[in-house]
Amino acid sequence: MIWPALLPWVALTGHTLVNALLLRRVPRATEVTERVAVLLPLRDEAARVTPCLKALLGQRGVSRMEIYVLDDGSTDGTAEVVTSVAGSRVRLLTGAPLPAGWLGKPHACAQLAAAARDSDVLVFVDADVVLAPDAVAGAVTALRSAGVTLLSPYPRIVGAGRLVQPLLQWSWLTFLPVRVMERSPRPSLAAAGGQWLVTDRAGYERAGGHAAVRDDVLEDIGLARAVKRAGGRIALADGSRTAVCRMYDTWGELADGYGKSLWASFGSPFGAASVVVLLLVLYALPPVAAAVFAAAGWASGAAVALTAYLIGVLGRVIAAAATGGRTWPDPLAQPLSIVLFAGLVVRSFARRRRGQLSWRGRAV
């Protein structure tokens, strides 16, 4: 019997299903009376900040909310766009020069948090995120109901990269025990997405704020780990019903965006190689093996390999359904998605070795 060979695929897709069922959701139509600061860091975002700003200005359900916007050395007229759209309804800050030892986004976020010193809750939002009118109130409610210091509500991802972008949500639903992560004090067991983060102000300060991750390319995950080191708790939530994020418009933008940070996602080149090989074996190899076995006349082997592929596809379908993604036909391309992801990992390490990594005109 060779059917027990399917156990890894069954176990991983089963884990995806369990996580999808247990995943926290951002509630709708809630009321919040705490002092909430929405913090928006901007650098050369004139072309896409308007929808984000209009959505922030249209928030409801938060009786005491202030919006802080920081222009971090933009050269495309970002500040002028903010003023024309929002006027005096936001507090527009001019970013200070980048100090030695800091990366741009942590420095911008640290300045915003310092400006919002009287707030109880900090809500960090990227310019490519558009929130539903009740999103901020719902996210703050989810933060408090979960009893955590930091909540990462994951928005629905749109735009370029239909074959690669869904791997973000699928990966943590498949490989990360979400509720165990919430309870565990281990900083190594942490996940977060920097597009939209909600944090208790006091807990954020105990963790050292963004100063604790000043040189971290993955400042979102770094902040989650800092919170855990300070004794706080973190949680993930599905925010796909209340937020949309258009991260990239072209494949080139996606490749550059992934390139600046993928190398830092695995701990070491060996760790990256191990993960990539495992993914290729589990999710790219089965359809190839099925074809080879069928051509060789080994029907049972071909059936097992084809079933492994289909179970992997089912995992993608479950993850997409749980996070607002495309449930069909995109999951059928899971093997190609994994191959493209592997290529992006290799490219990221190669560009880092050659000193070619940059973002928004700054070296990484």
Spatial CB neighbours of 66, under 8 Å, sequence gap ≥ 6: 35, 36, 37, 38, 91, 116, 119
**Residue-level pLDDT at 1:** 54
State the average pLDDT over residues 202-219. Answer: 97
User: Which tokens hold the place of 1?
Assistant: 């019997």
Mean pLDDT calculated for residue range 13-41: 97
Instruction: Say yes or no to pLDDT of 236 above 70.
Output: yes
pLDDT top residue among 359 and 4: 4
Query: Quick one: tokens of 220?
Result: 């979102």
In this prediction, residue 360 carries a pLDDT of 75
Burial class of residue 326, CB neighbours in 10 A (0-12, 13-18, 19+): middle
Closest by CA position to 57, among listed 157, 122, 130, 152:
130
Is 327's pLDDT higher than 70?
Answer: yes
Q: What is the mean pLDDT of residues 12-32?
A: 96
Please give the share of the chain, as a percent, with pLDDT higher than 70: 99
Residue pointed to by tokens 């060789």: 296
**pLDDT tens, 119-131?**
999 999 999 999 9
What span, in angstroms and rounded, lies between the C-alpha atoms of 131 and 144? 19
Q: Which residue segments constitute the domains of the chain, with CATH numbers given?
A: 3-18+263-363 (no CATH), 22-248 (3.90.550.10)
Residue 359 has pLDDT above 80, yes or no: no
**According to the model, what pLDDT value does residue 259 have?**
93
